[in-house]
Amino acid sequence: MLDQRDLAAIEALMRDVAKRHIMPGFGRIIAAQIHIKSGPLDPVTDADRAAESALIDGLGRLFPGIGTLGEESVAANPAGLTAIDRDDPIFVIDPIDGTQNYAAGLPLFGTMIALIVQNRVLSGLIYDPIRDDTVIAQPGGGAWLWRGAERTRLRTPPAVPLSAMIASISWQYMPEPERGLVLRGLTALGQMPNFRCAAQTYRAIAMGAIHATLSRRTLPWDHAAGSLIVAEAGGFVRQPDGAAWQPSALNGGIMTAPDEASWQALHAALYSAS
C-alpha cells in the first residue's frame, strides 16, 4: 500500500500533467485533434494521449518497480489488458475520463489512477482539473478530498426511498433482456443524470451529491479508483449478480448505493421481471 508521501507525489504528478497537457486544450479542441476508437461515441484526443504518456513516464520515475497500464495504450494494443490478471502491482490510468465532455468544452472530466495488486484495488485517486482537487482512498482508510493542504473526510449520502434516489444508470452496453428490464425500472427512481464521465459520477457519490450508479461494461481504468472511493466513503459496491467486483471483471457490471438495503431496493427495481 502507498503511504501519504506516495499519494501526495501522485497527486502532484496528476496536477502537473493536467496543467501541461489537459487544460491548455480545454475549450480549444479542433476536429483534427479528435480521433475515433471503437465508434463515434468513443473519441480520443491528442491531449488524452499526451497526458497518458506523461503520467506513465512520471509514475515510472516515482515507482520504478511498478508497471503501468493506460486506457489509450490498451486501445493501441488490446493484449496489454492481460496485465490486470497478473500478481505484480500495476498502476491503471485514465488520463482524461469524460473525453466527450472535454472535447465539447464541458467541465465534467477527470484523471483517474488506481494501484491494483493481485486483482485488488489498493489505492484510488480521481483528480478534477477544473476544481483542482483530488478524491483519494485506500482500503480501511476512508475516502478523502484533498484540496491544497485541506483534508476533508467524505461520506456517501444518506439512504432515501427509490422515488427520491438520484442514480446515474449507464445502460448502453447492456445486452437484452437486461437492457429492457433496467430501462423499464428507471421509472421508479427520482432522477437519472448521465454525466458521461465515471470520474465525476464516483466523485459525486462520495461527496454525497447523488446516491447510486450502475454500469455494465467495467473496464478497470473507468471503475477501479471510483469503486474503492465509494466503498471507503461508506457505500455498498457489488456486481449486479451480488458478487464482489474485481478489476479483471470487464463485463460483469458494477452497481453502487449508499448502503446494502438501498442496493437491494435498487436492484429489485431495475432487475425485477414483474
Q: What is the CATH number of the domain that holds 33?
A: 3.30.540.10
Name all contacts of 143-149 with Cβ < 8 Å and 24+ positions apart. 143/206, 143/229, 143/230, 143/232, 143/233, 145/207, 146/11
Q: Is the pLDDT of residue 171 over 90?
A: yes
* Secondary structure letter of residue 257 according to DSSP: E
pLDDT tens per residue, range 52-85: 999 999 999 999 999 999 999 999 899 888 888 8
* Secondary structure letter of residue 158 according to DSSP: P
Structural domain including 205 reads 162-271
Mean pLDDT, rounded, for 203-220:
97
pLDDT at residue 4, rounded to an integer: 96
Same domain, yes or no: 125 and 182: no
Task: Specify the pTM.
Answer: 0.96
Burial of residue 122 (number of CB atoms within 10 Å: 0-12, 13-18, 19+): middle
Bridge partners (DSSP) of residue 167 are 212
Q: Which of 96, 119, 154 is the last residue of a domain?
A: 154
Q: Which of 119, 154, 189 is the last residue of a domain?
A: 154
Domain count, the chain: 2
Q: What's phi and psi for 222, nearest 5 deg?
A: -85, -25
User: Which segments of the chain are extended strands (E)?
Assistant: 34-36, 43-45, 67-70, 90-97, 110-117, 120-128, 133-137, 143-147, 150-154, 167-170, 212-215, 236-238, 254-257
